Amino acid sequence: MSETKEHPRVVPYRYNVVAGSEEDAKKGSEGQVDIQIGKFDALPPSRAFLYIAACTGNIAAFTCGITLGWTSPVLPKLQDLSLSPLSEVVSVSDAGWIGSLLPLGASLGPFIVGAAADKIGRKKTLLLGNIPFIVGFLLNIMATNVYYLLVSRFICGVSVGLTFTVLPMYTGEIAEDEVRGTLGTYLQLFTVIGLLFSFVLGPYIPVTLFNAACIVVPSIFLVAFFFFIPESPSFLLSVGETDAAEQALMKLRNRSAPSEVREELQAMLVEVNKSLDSKGSFMDIFKSKGLLKAYLLSNGLLVFQQVSGINVVLFFAQTIFQDAGVAMKPELCTIMIGVVQVVFTGLTSGLIDKQGKRLLLMLSAVGMTVAQGGLAYYFYLKDSDSDVSAFTWLPIACLIGYIITFCLGFGPIPWAVMGEMFPANVKSVASMTTGATCWFLAFLLTKYFSAVVGLIGKAGSFGLFGGCCALAFAFVYKFLPETKGKSLQEIQDMLSGKS
């Protein structure tokens, strides 16, 4: 530890020397500092504000969850003229587009923010990217025909794609190494809380009132994030605003003196300067072994996330329960799924930095394989005119099992991995293309799920999803390294094969 006249002995992140002599400071060894009134703070600095900043930023993910879950309670009402605010019921084709236009818009969102995140910052990009949510919900309120809804779903999708690209970047840059994995899971946690919001309110209040309630959440985000949460220190350093970066880092680390964050700030500055000196394009990813490996791993995890069938389950949960003919009301089954998502995604947030990403992903893949296989078996029996009256519990159990295991791994972790795999010089372009691939695949799956069901049936469709989950296990087991507790630079060195 270094000693200075102003701070005789500073133990970063543990104790803060505020006064006292050099002799006093030397009395204890690291971890055994004698705590005296007026000489040392009695408690280590808190990470409370760091968690507050991450939670506030993830209110944007909450809004994403609302829009992702919106179709489940609303589509059945739009197909009932007595409940629909529109002048006529939506057709099956229009219902398919309402479900699929959001991921199509989300696939374009990353390209819109690719340059913005590096030019105006992570914070301003997230703020501007939240405005289309408000516009979209206003269009839903004013809707008199299906075209209002189609436009709304598309522009909300753009915001979803933008948020899922920039928010992992922001969270990864403000986090400390020890809690980066936990904070990275907040994206999925707040998303599923938003889904639950839609599942709980949507079925029980008029469509117009539900859309009005949806506007409240992005409005809160705009105010809270703008006024109270700082920009990413790494971005501020990249544009030469060293003093602002120092103040932001002090706030995020709950430090009162610049000297207490100087060491971390200097490490950030070295990394940022190195990245700026070698500013990369998309093609540069393919020139480096480490970057290529990071890109393939991030894309692979997000592709398997989508082909596990998650968006089909979320967008059409209520319809799936109706088709399965379960005894419980479909809307109650959907709420049950939403509660399970929140509980087990929250559990993952506590496990990820203890158990590691790799183990949780493999357990997740096994669980999803079994659940989708059980669902395929149920629909096989039902479609072959077998008596399934004794098995009406099976689709509920399978979908809940699927959601539990998805939330333990393939829900939150791929986004957390994307946020930590890339250095600053290619982070924006890599995140942009990776996010776009994920959402375009989600669009194809939601748009053409009905067509695939028509060809191979629900049993074949869910069986196909189960096979993809089995492949996901093999992918993680064979290729994904463990990054638990490693700094961003250590992760880059590991991917590049350096010691």
Average pLDDT (460-483) is 92
pLDDT for position 236: 94
Domain boundaries of the chain, sorted by first residue: 47-229, 284-498
Reported as a pLDDT band with limits 50, 70 and 90, residue 102 is very high
- What are the tens digits of pLDDT across the range 187-236? 988 998 999 999 999 999 999 999 999 999 999 999 999 999 999 999 99
The domain 47-229 having CATH identifier 1.10.10.60: the answer here is no
- Three-state SS annotation for 156-178: HHHHHHHHHHHHHHHHHHHCCHH
pLDDT for position 278: 66
Q: Is the pLDDT of residue 26 over 50?
A: no
- What are the tens digits of pLDDT across the range 31-69? 443 333 333 333 456 789 999 999 999 999 999 999 998
Q: What is the mean pLDDT of the chain?
A: 82
Tell me which of 461 and 332 has the higher pLDDT: 461
Tell me if 443 sits within 8 A of 107, measured CB to CB: yes
Structure tokens at 317: 């949960």
- What are the tens digits of pLDDT across the range 359-404? 999 999 999 999 999 989 988 888 888 887 777 788 888 888 998 9
pLDDT for position 367: 95
- Three-state SS annotation for the chain: CCCCCCCCCCECCCECECCCCHHHHCCCCCCCCCCCCCCECCCCCCCHHHHHHHHHHCHHHHHHHHHHHCHHHHHHHHCCCCCCCCCCCCCHHHHHHHHHHHHHHHHHHHHHHHHHHHHCCHHHHHHHHHHHHHHHHHHHHHCCCHHHHHHHHHHHHHHHHHHHHHHHHHHHHHCCHHHHHHHHCHHHHHHHHHHHHHHHHCCCCCHHHHHHHHHHHHHHHHHHHHHHCCCCHHHHHHCCCHHHHHHHHHHHHCCCCHHHCHHHHHHHHHHHHHHHHCCCCHHHHHHCHHHHHHHHHHHHHHHHHHHCCHHHHHHCHHHHHHHHCCCCCHHHHHHHHHHHHHHHHHHHHHHHHHHCHHHHHHHHHHHHHHHHHHHHHHHHHHHCCCCCHHHCHHHHHHHHHHHHHHHHCCCCHHHHHHHHHCCHHHHHHHHHHHHHHHHHHHHHHHHHHHHHHHHHHHHHHHHHHHHHHHHHHHHHHHHCCCCCCCCHHHHHHHHCCCC
Tell me the residue type at 37: I
The domain 284-498 having CATH identifier 1.20.1250.20: the answer here is yes
pLDDT for position 16: 37
- What are the tens digits of pLDDT across the range 249-298? 999 999 988 989 999 999 888 888 877 776 677 788 888 888 889 899 99
One fold for both 47-229 and 284-498?
Answer: yes
Tell me which of 498 and 207 has the higher pLDDT: 207
pLDDT for position 31: 40
Q: Is the pLDDT of residue 411 over 80?
A: yes
